Structure 1
């Protein structure tokens, strides 16, 4: 039993032409290129959604607790990376 599902996709003529030309030059089917493109798009957008949700969660946590680190504190810490006198990560505070 196959795990594939068929879907109809309408493409404008120029996109259809470009897809076929690329498929011919790579000696693969247009379907393979479309499947690969969709898989890459979904992976990228799912990562973007995770990042967006993490940002919202961090904002909500900040709103509730008030704990934060200033940009100046982070920059001062980063400027010591790799040095013998490397500072520890700054502590969150109100």
Structure 2
């Protein structure tokens, strides 16, 4: 599938300069930029959907961890301990 993208002159120059520095084609630079953008935005959307599901679950069942409980668990993980996620409660 062929797709065209219209760029202003300044952006064309910037893409071409980057392509020259990286020893790549401007086509490669644009494809890579689009791929990186789409992957990042897909991850962002997945994170958003996970957060919305978690909020809906919390509204439904009230289960949660306090900020202190979460911080303690994260500190253990950060120090290299194989800590289990604390049990959620009401």
TM-score, scaled to structure 2:
0.81
Alignment of 1:1-94 (within 5 A): 5-80=1-76, 82=79, 89-94=85-90
Greater fraction helix: 2
Give, in whole Å, the separation in 2 of the partners of 1:33 and 1:64.
46
CA RMSD of the aligned region, Å?
2.4
Give, in whole Å, the separation in 2 of the partners of 1:27 and 1:83.
41
Q: Which ranges in structure 1 are unaligned for 5 or more consecutive residues?
A: none
Q: Which ranges in structure 2 are unaligned for 5 or more consecutive residues?
A: none
Aligned residues: 89
